[in-house]
Chain A
Amino acid sequence: MITIVRHPIDHDAVLRAVSSHQAGAVLLFLGTTRQFTGEKETTALDYDCYEEMALKQMTRLAEQAKEKWQLQGVAMMHRVGHLELGEASVAIAVSSAHREAAFDAGKWLIDTLKEVVPIWKKENWSDGTTEWVHHGC
């Protein structure tokens, strides 16, 4: 399951997608909306994406991880649109025969997603201003 959604993330569905009797480990990562970044306070986030390219990139990452760590299953769900504090913006689940591969693959998948997948977040700060997050710009 590789998907981009505009509704709250159903992480049970993401977990079910990697269920396997060959797995001895199932790992779920959730990225959630954080209130404070340093001293700045977030009230909400808005996400934009280039959906066709994002899905293609996410599918490629899943295939690469599956091959490299011999995973039983990989599922990635990213939410776009408006998110309130504490809501999940991304869910990544992997299943593998042993836990080391699941932890390593899960970390690589979220780290790499954040580097290459064309999705962007806009901070809605508590002072009423908004700011697209483009590191380096």
Chain B
Amino acid sequence: MICSVKLFAMAQQRTGQQEIKVTVESPATVDNLKTAISVQFPELGDVLPHCMVAVNTEYASPADPITESDEIAIIPPVSGG
């Protein structure tokens, strides 16, 4: 399946894209997705281990399942305030 993944801040800057398309074998978990991203977008490789993943605007755990229809985002360490 192909998942759309939103990017922000440094992750967006590194790729020059607000959203990337990631190919991942179904069924997949958040962890599988991160591995797929690091292969398909090596420019994110060193950032990804520090990032959380949000699925449908909630923080997700590595073992949580993902589907093509989910809204997925990479959340680098936050620095608001």
Contacts and interface: CB of A to CB of B under 8 A. Distances in A.
Interface centre among B8, B10, B50, B79 (most CB of A within 10 A): B79
Contacts of B46: 137
Contact of A90 (B9, B50, B75, B81): B81
Chain A contact residues (Cβ within 8 angstroms of B): what range? Answer: 20 to 34
Nearest to B12: A48
A136 interface: yes
Interface in B34-81: 46-47, 50, 54, 57-59, 73, 75-81
Interface residues of B, number: 21
A68 interface: no
A94 to B, nearest CB: 16
Interface in A1-54: 31, 47-50, 52-54
Contacts of A137: 10, 46-47, 50, 76-77
B79 A134 contact: yes
Nearest to B78: A118
Interface in B1-15: 6, 8-10, 12-13
A135 to B, nearest CB: 5
Interface string A116-137: 1111111000000000111111
Nearest to B79: A133
Interface of A: 31, 47-50, 52-54, 56, 78, 89-90, 110, 113-122, 132-137
29 contacts: A48-B8, A48-B9, A50-B6, A50-B54, A53-B58, A53-B73, A53-B75, A54-B80, A56-B57, A78-B81, A90-B80, A113-B80, A114-B80, A117-B78, A117-B80, A118-B73, A119-B81, A120-B76, A120-B80, A121-B79, A132-B9, A132-B10, A132-B13, A134-B9, A134-B47, A135-B77, A136-B77, A137-B50, A137-B76
